A and B are shown apart, each in its own frame.
Chain A
Amino acid sequence: MNLLNAISLRMSRHRRTVGWAQRNGLFFALVFLILFFSVFSEYFLTWPNIQVILLTVSVIGLMAVPGAMLILAGYVDLSVGSVAALASIVFGQVVAAAHLPWELGFALGLAAGLAWGLFSGIIISYLGLSAIVVTLGGLAGARGIAELIGRGITLSGFGSAFDAIGGSSFLDLPVPVWILAAAFLIGGLVWYVMPYGRHLTAIGADANAARSLGINTRRIPLILYTASGGAAAVGGLIMTSQLDASTLTIGAGMELSVLTAILVGGVSFVGGRGSLFGVAVGVLFIGVLQNGLILMRINPFISDTAIGAALVFAAALDVLYRRLDRIPVTDPDTRVGAEAPAQPEPQLSSMSQPRG
Chain B
Amino acid sequence: MSDPSVAGIDWSSCPTPKSNYDRILLGHGSGGRLTNELIERVFVPAFDNPILAALEDQATLNLAATNGGAAGGLPRLAFTTDAFVVQPLFFPGGDIGRLAVHGTVNDLAVGGALPQFLSAAFILEEGLPIDDLKRIAASMRAACDEAGVQLVTGDTKVVDRGKGDQVFITTAGIGIVPPGRNLSIRSVRPGDKILVSGTLGDHGITIMSVREGIEFETALESDTAPLTSLVQAMLAACPAIRWMRDPTRGGLASALNEMASAAGVGVELVESTIPVRNEVHAACEMLGLDALYVANEGKLVAVVPADDSEKLLGTMRAHPLGQNAAIIGTVVDEHPRMVLLRSLVGGERVVTMLAGEQLPRIC
Partners in one complex: no
